[in-house]
Each structure stands twice: as structure tokens, then as C-alpha cells.
Amino acid sequence: MTANQDPIVIIGGGISGVMAARTLAEAGEDQVLLLDKGRGLGGRMVTRAFQGAKIDHGVQYFTAHSQAFQHLVKQWQEQGWVNEWKSSLTTYYGTGGMNALVKHLADPVDFCVRVRVTQVQAQPNGWLLRWISEEQDYVAQTYSEVPNEAIYDPGKQAVVHARAIISTVPAPQLLYLLDQGKVQVEQFIREKLQAIQYLPCLTALVVLKEPCPLQEFLNKQLPYPLKLITDNFKKGISEVPALTIQIHEEWSKENFWREDQDILGEILKVAEPWVGTGEKLGVALKRWTYSLPSAIVRESFMSIETTAPLLIAGDVFVPESDPLGYGRVETAVLSGIAAAKALLELEKKKR
């Protein structure tokens, strides 16, 4: 690779994008750029500091079923990056929170956050990405699901030329970017991507003054609409009692745009047997727009055939060999790695 080559750009800084970037960096690719519109990397593997507590308010744990992922997790354990969490099955979580693991994995990666890609255009020998920098507290979660006036655009527009792209953002966002750049996508690929819609998830964050009666984790025998409750204190990442309460996707979809206080009031009333009636030091609501995918793709990744490589990875890519058949942290990691390795092979053929 020559010094004046355009970089490989990865769109999306969840764990799939981070692992793709890390795989490329470890293979010696020194011109890799990871872009994410959030305040930090991690996607749904995120830990929030709130009212003196640390709260995992996206992914709560992950499992390891394939030998390849078990090998990675063992390495992470040896590094002290993850802990084992035994419930009905062996699960893992990031030491100090889910986002701490992502930060370790992203250490060798060049990345930019608060960067919202707005358009992807095909060029004769690469790609042109247009993006703006998001520098206010609120960043729109989606492109097409909010009115234009709600999307903050400070005018700090920029472009970056890429010799290849790996996209790990949700399928509706990727299609939006390609359509904005008038990129021709083969019909069967478009149909696969269009089939991947997502249900949202509402999540309540509750910081308590006193410990609650809940064990560290509960995801069974909860009344609707409760789906999962975790005590981040008993889990071992928070110094004070702090709960993550996740709500069923269907209820979340029906109530997504209600006022925060109305949603929280209803959730806490249903959760009272586990949360208790003691003083609450803080309560907040997180809206996850993309939570549960409606379909999976039975491949490790996909590619769009054009003048330059564009590979698509993420948790929805679940190969036929996967015994569980649904997307999760494991499939996100393995998909990002597979896409990066495929791109490395393409780079070798060009040289």
C-alpha cells in the first residue's frame, strides 16, 4: 500500500465495525478510518454514567457458541476485559461495563465520532462519502424517521474519498445513504436489505438510594410489557444500585413517541415488585430505534458489486452454520471479522 492511497472507511462504530477495523489494522492496513454518529463507539454495547451509577443500557451480556468466538472471548478474559456471568447459561459482560470492552478493542483503530454520513457516491475507482459533524447534545437517531428540521446540521460539511467501504449500520440507514448517492444496487440485494426492518426498544434507567429485592438479572416470568431487568450493582459494574429495565419491542413500538414521564410512570408501576418503593435518585428513558431485526441474512456478510468494494456486515448476518439462527454480539463480531478478511483478500488480488 502506498502512502497516497485513499483509506478504507468503515461506517458504524458498533462492535461489528470495531472488529472489522481492528482486523484490518492487525493485518497491517494503516489507512483505515471508522466513522460513527454517536458520542462514542459501541453501538448497543454502551455504558452510561448516571447519577453516580454506571449502567449498561443496551446489550446486557453475550454468549459464545462457536469455537472461533470462544477463542476470542478466552483471549479477552486473559486480558481482563470481560467477566463471566453465570445464570442459566454461561454469559459474559465487559469488565467495568460493556463499553469498556469496546474501548479496548478499538485501541488500535483511527476513528471519528459525532460524524453523520449523509451520502455515499460511487466513483470510478472508489467511493465519495459526504458527512457532517454533529456537535450538539442531541443527535437524531435516524435519517428518515424524523422531520428534516429536527436533524441538526451545523454546516460543517466534509467529504472523504475511500478505496473501499465496510458498512455495519442498520440496513435502512445504508439504503438511505446509497439512494442519496444514486448508487445502483442489484435488485436481489436491495430486496434482502429491505427485508431487514427493526423493532425499537424502550429502556428505563433507575438509580436507587437503597438496594432492591431483585437478583442481579431477571428475564423470565416478568409481566408484560417488561422484558428484562438487570441490577448493575449486583452485576458488578456500578458502585450504587442501578437498574436497567428493558421493554418488549411491540409495546415499545406502540408507545415510542409518548412523553418520557408517561412511559416511565407506567413501566415503574409494573416493575414495582422488583424495583421496590424506595427513593429513586434518578430515572431516565433511552429510546433504541434499532433493536430487534425482523429478518436475518444466512451469510457472514454481503457485498455490493460496483467499481470498488462495498461490504456489509453486522449482527443480522448469521451463516447457515450458526446453531442458534438469530443475531447477537457473537454474530456481529464474526461478521465484522469475515468482511474485513474478505476485503484483505480483494486488496491482495489488486497488488
Compute the distance between CA of residue 333 and CA of residue 94 in angstroms, rounded to an integer.
14
Bridge-based pairing state of the strands 198-208 and 280-293 = antiparallel
CA neighbor of 32 nearest in space, from 54, 49, 13, 10? 10
CA neighbor of 55 nearest in space, from 211, 236, 242, 234? 242
Q: What is the DSSP letter of 148?
A: G
% of residues, the chain, pLDDT over 90? 73
Q: What is the mean pLDDT of the chain?
A: 89
215: cell is 437478583
Q: Which of 3-7, 45-49, 233-237 has the highest mean pLDDT?
A: 45-49
Instruction: Yes or no: say if 299 and 331 are a contact pair by the CB < 8 Å rule.
Output: no
Give the position of cell 450538539.
136
* pTM > 0.85: yes or no: yes
Q: Using 50, 70 and 90 to split pLDDT, how confident is the model at 156?
A: low
Compute the distance between CA of residue 52 and CA of residue 66 in angstroms, rounded to an integer.
37
Over residues 80-128, the pLDDT tens digits come to: 999 998 665 789 999 999 999 999 999 999 888 888 898 999 999 899 9
Instruction: Yes or no: say if 249 and 199 are a contact pair by the CB < 8 Å rule.
Output: yes
Over residues 261-306, the pLDDT tens digits come to: 999 999 999 999 988 888 999 999 999 999 988 889 999 999 998 8
